[in-house]
Amino acid sequence: MKTKKLVRDTLILTAVSLLMRGVGLVFSSFLSESIGAEGLGLLELILSVCGFAVSLAGSGIKLTTIRLTVSAQAQGMSVKRTVKMCFAYALIPASVAAILLISFAPMAARMIGQSEAAICFRLYAVSLPFISLSCALSGYFTAVRKATAYAAVTTGEQLFRIGLTSVLLTVFLPYGVVSACAAVVFGQCIAEALSVLVTFIIYLRQRTNDNDMGRPRFKELLSIALPDSVSSNLRSALVTVRQILIPKTLKQSGISAAQGLAAYGVVQGMALPVINFAGCIPSVFSGLLIPEIAECVAKDNKKRAEKLMLKALRYTFLFSCAVAAILYGFAPQIGRLLYPDSKAAFYIRLLAPIIPVSYVDMTTDGILKGLGLQLDSMRFNIIEAAVCLSMVLVLVPIWGVWGYVAMIFTGEILNFGLSINRLRKYAIK
Instruction: Give the per-residue pLDDT at 406.
Output: 94
- 3-state secondary structure string across the chain: CHHHHHHHHHHHHHHHHHHHHHHHHHHHHHHHHHHHHHHHHHHHHHHHHHHHHHHHHHCCHHHHHHHHHHHHHHHCCCHHHHHHHHHHHHHHHHHHHHHHHHHCHHHHHHHCCCHHHHHHHHHHHHHHHHHHHHHHHHHHHHHCCCHHHHHHHHHHHHHHHHHHHHHHHHHHHHHCHHHHHHHHHHHHHHHHHHHHHHHHHHHHHHCCCCCCCCCCCHHHHHHHHHHHHHHHHHHHHHHHHHHHHHHHHHHHCCCCHHHHHHHHHHHHHHHHHHHCHHHHHHHHHHHHHHHHHHHHHHCCCHHHHHHHHHHHHHHHHHHHHHHHHHHHHHHHHHHHHHCCCCCHHHHHHHHHHHHHHHHHHHHHHHHHHHCCCHHHHHHHHHHHHHHHHHHHHHCHHHHCHHHHHHHHHHHHHHHHHHHHHHHHHHHCC
Instruction: Give the per-residue pLDDT at 147.
Output: 65
At 307-345, the pLDDT tens digits run: 888 888 898 999 999 999 999 999 999 988 888 877 889
Instruction: Give the per-residue pLDDT at 1.
Output: 47
Instruction: Give the per-residue pLDDT at 317.
Output: 93
Q: Where are the domains of the chain?
A: 2-427
Instruction: Give the per-residue pLDDT at 209.
Output: 59
Low-confidence ranges of the chain (pLDDT < 70): 1-11, 13, 147-149, 207-216, 427-429
Instruction: Give the per-residue pLDDT at 319.
Output: 92
